[in-house]
Chains A and B, each alone.
Chain A
Amino acid sequence: MIKIINAEKSSSDSVVFPPFSMEIKVRETAAIHSSLNVRSVLMDIFSGGMSLSSGSIEISGNKLASDFKNYNGKLSVMFLEEGLYERLTVKEQITFWKKLHLSSRTSDEILRLVQLEHLKKKRISSLTFSEKRRVHFARLLLENKPVLILEEPDQNVDLETRRVIKKVTEALKEEGKSILLLTGNMESALFMTEHVHRLDEKGLHRLDVELEEDESSGEEIPEREDHGVSQPVQIEKIPAKINEKIILFNPPEIDFVESSEGQSNLSVQGEVYPCTFTLNDLEKRLVPFGFFRCHRSYIVNLQKVREVVTWTRNSYSLVLEGTDRTTIPLSKLKMAELKEMLGLK
């Protein structure tokens, strides 16, 4: 269990983040979505490299400031840039951690969980970035601490690794761990955790993901049909505003629309343009062009979707075409709707 009470940090006369409180209980996962600066400051604070300006952090009842030894004994931290002993093989590295943390799990079990069995004799220096990431997750399994703090765990990893990471974090959660994710990627936050928060200079805001989704899902279906009938093909451009300029996009150009804090952002060929309409308005305008509201905070252009990935029984993502293979969350309820639209059921 992790408890953050009125934690605040300012450095050289500027506020990094104002006081905020949050609590993650046993068997709960949460994410803090923030800028890179806030994220790295938070990581330094959690790992004891920097102290808070005021407030306190407790891990299972042990205070960060006054009882670091016990605090650290209950906490696993995984940085985005973690080190590995590059000259060792995967198996040797895992055996080392197993002995260092006096874990009772066997290394074969760990290798199986992170799906590295076929690579266990390989040197770590010859692994890909994604495979190294899975080795880091092996450490989390061996440490077996009640609280985990992960920085960008699934950044830039391949789909298979993402699936492994999702599975491992689910398993850790089932074991009764509390997991906090720090990320700058909203999609990753929604994908990995149950509760998503946004932290910036204005404070901590919670995004009520599941709740509103349930409420809105009831009304959307008739709405879409309304428009589908009453608005036949019509020429409609979507305006986005950048500085003083207004740019007009043809709907088919848009890959997807993402909303963060009431601001909807159009994503066009990897660039992001803020749009003045709300997501609900955009949905009404875009549905006739083959767009689909796949999540409370996302509208996707179905023409650009290449793949529907099933991570676990009720966790899905959409993968877009193109080299960077952007993924977009697809919520459970919308999955059923999508299947229906595609005529799969």
Chain B
Amino acid sequence: MNQSIKRTMAIFQKDYKDFTKNLYVSSMIFLPLFLAAFYGRMGVQSLDMVFMVFNLTLTVIAAFTQSALIAEEKEKNTLRGLMLSPAGTGEILIGKSLVSFLISAIVLIFSAFLIGYQPENALLIVAALFVSILFYLGIGTLLGLITRSVMEASVAILPVLLFFSFSSFAVQLSDEYPILKVAEYLPNSQLVDLGYAVQNGAGFGDGWAALLIITAWTIGVSALVVAVYQKKMVDK
């Protein structure tokens, strides 16, 4: 193993141990699981519901967990120690994202199982969810970096949570208010669109546009995260 991977893994292991003892954050994983089980038992099979649970999982687990982990490092003065350590920007950001990434992935799989969702083209959906997790991790990291404490981050995440969980419904109103057409290009709406397309038998050939848009969002957010991180490193 080279040094860079060793350092990244050190941060990951530390975060994993910390996360298991952090009830404030770890208890959050039950919210989407509960919703998924609830809708699954109710027999609601509308794709809108399935993807609302997915989008909620992504915001609550990926974005919220990540922002809380980063904000806590800032609040407890430990981020400075990491920044001054030999670990580079990439090593720290990846190491700090691994725990949230794994937990999001696990919760998504369980929610899909509990709600009884079986897509026609599982590979395409998995790819779209994978990129979406990265996007929401980016949003979470960004929020964690610009807020000063876990409390602030928890408040700042609320509008984000509402926005990304429910803006896919705004698309339905776009006939009445044309301006809402913009919402179609948000990563969460694209994910829902892709879900419908897959149900109607779409393959990679048809789904790539949606995948590309989500990827573009992810790259944009990641670039922003690196820029903000570098700036924080200079003025602390």
Using a CB–CB cutoff of 8 Å, the interface residues on chain A facing chain B are 44, 47-49, 72-73, 77, 79, 81-88, 92, 96, 99-102, 139
Q: Which range holds the interface residue count of chain B?
A: 20 to 34
Complex Cα spacing A72 to B80, Å: 13
Q: Cβ of B76 and Cβ of A86 under 8 Å apart?
A: yes
- CB pair B77–A102 under 8 Å, yes or no, is no
- Verify B76–A101 contact, CB threshold 8 A: no
Q: Is the CB of A99 within 8 A of B80?
A: no
Are A72 and B18 in contact (CB-based, < 8 A)?
no
B11 part of interface (Cβ distance < 8 Å): yes
| B17: A residues at CB distance < 8 A | 87-88, 92
Cα of A7 to Cα of B198 in the assembled complex, Å? 65
Q: Are B77 and A88 in contact (CB under 8 A)?
A: no
Contacts of B86 in A (CB 8 A): 73, 100-102
- CB-CB contacts below 8 Å: B77-96 with A: 77-82, 84-87
A residues near B234, Cβ cutoff 8 Å: 48-49
Report Cα–Cα, A48/B233, bound state, in Å: 9
- Shortest CB-to-CB span from B205 to chain A, Å, is 45
Q: Which 9 A-B pairs have the closest CB atoms?
A: A83-B77, A99-B10, A83-B78, A96-B14, A87-B21, A83-B76, A49-B236, A100-B10, A87-B18
Q: How far is the CA of A87 from the CA of B23 in the complex (A)?
A: 11
Contact indicator B7/A99 (Cβ below 8 Å): yes
Q: Is the interface of A mostly helix, strand, loop or mixed?
A: loop
Tell me the dominant secondary structure on chain B's binding face. helix
Distance (whole angstroms) from the CB of A142 to the closest CB of chain B? 10
Q: Which of A72, A84, A87 has the most CB of B within 10 A?
A: A87
In this assembly, does B6 line the interface, its C-beta being within 8 Å of a C-beta of chain A?
Answer: yes
B121 within 8 A of A: no
| Contact between A88 and B84, CB atoms less than 8 A apart | no
Tell me whether B9 is interfacial, beta carbon within 8 Å: yes
Q: Report the minimal beta-carbon distance from A97 to chain B, rounded to whole angstroms.
A: 8
Given contacts A49-B236, A101-B85, contact A85 B18 (CB under 8 A): yes
* Contact between A102 and B6, CB atoms less than 8 A apart: yes
Q: Is the CB of A83 within 8 A of B6?
A: no
Residues of A within 8 A of B230 (CB): none
Do B18 and A84 touch across chains, with their CB atoms under 8 A apart? no
Q: Is the CB of A82 within 8 A of B77?
A: yes
- Chain B residues, Cβ within 8 Å of A44: 236
Contact between A72 and B84, CB atoms less than 8 A apart? yes
Q: Indicate whether B22 reaches chain A with its CB closer than 8 angstroms.
A: yes
Partner of B84, one of A77, A85, A87: A77
A265 CA to B18 CA in the complex, in Å? 49
Q: Is the CB of A92 within 8 A of B14?
A: yes
Q: How far is the CB of A102 from chain B (nearest CB, A)?
A: 6
* A244–chain B nearest beta-carbon distance, Å: 45
- Provide the bound-state CA to CA distance between A165 and B73, in Å: 26
**Contact assessment for B77 and A81 in the assembled complex, using a CB-CB cutoff below 8 Å:** yes
Can you name 15 extra interface pairs (CB under 8 A) apart from A83-B78, A101-B86?
A47-B84, A49-B234, A72-B84, A82-B81, A83-B73, A83-B79, A84-B76, A85-B78, A87-B22, A88-B18, A92-B17, A99-B7, A100-B7, A100-B85, A139-B81
With A92-B14, A96-B14 given, is the CB distance from A84 to B84 under 8 Å?
no
**B175 interface residue per 8 A CB criterion:** no
List the A side residues contacting B13 at CB < 8 Å: 96, 99
Residue of B nearest to A77 (CB): B84
Q: List the B residue with the shortest CB-CB distance to A145.
A: B86
Considering the complex, give the chain A residue whose CB is closest to the CB of B76: A83
Q: B50-87 toward A: CB 8 Å interface, digit per residue (1/0)?
A: 00000000000000000000000100111111101111
B3: CB under 8 A from chain A?
Answer: yes
Interface membership of B176, Cβ < 8 A: no
CB proximity of B11 to chain A, nearest CB, Å: 7
Q: Which of B18, B22, B73, B87 contacts A100 (CB 8 A)?
A: B87
Q: How far, in Å, is A68 (CB) from chain B's closest CB?
A: 10
CB-CB contacts below 8 Å: B1-33 with A: 3, 6-7, 9-11, 13-14, 17-18, 21-22
A82 to B78, CA, bound (A): 7
- A99 vs B77: C-alpha distance in the bound complex, in angstroms? 20
Task: Report B96 CB to chain A, min CB distance, Å.
Answer: 12
| Interchain nearest-CB distance for B95 vs A (Å) | 9
Q: Which residues of B contact A96 (CB under 8 A)?
A: 10-11, 13-14
A100 and chain B: residue at smallest CB distance: B10
Query: With the chains together, A102 CA to B9 CA distance in Å?
Result: 12
Q: Which residues of B contact A81 (CB under 8 A)?
A: 77
CA distance A86 to B86 in the complex (A): 22
CA A88 to CA B7, docked complex, whole Å: 18
Which residues of B sit under 8 angstroms from A86, Cβ to Cβ?
A: 76
B233 to chain A, nearest CB (A): 8
Looking across the interface, which residue of chain B has its beta carbon closest to that of A44?
Answer: B236
Q: How far is the CB of B28 from chain A (nearest CB, A)?
A: 16
User: Cα distance A49–B234 when bound, in Å?
Assistant: 6
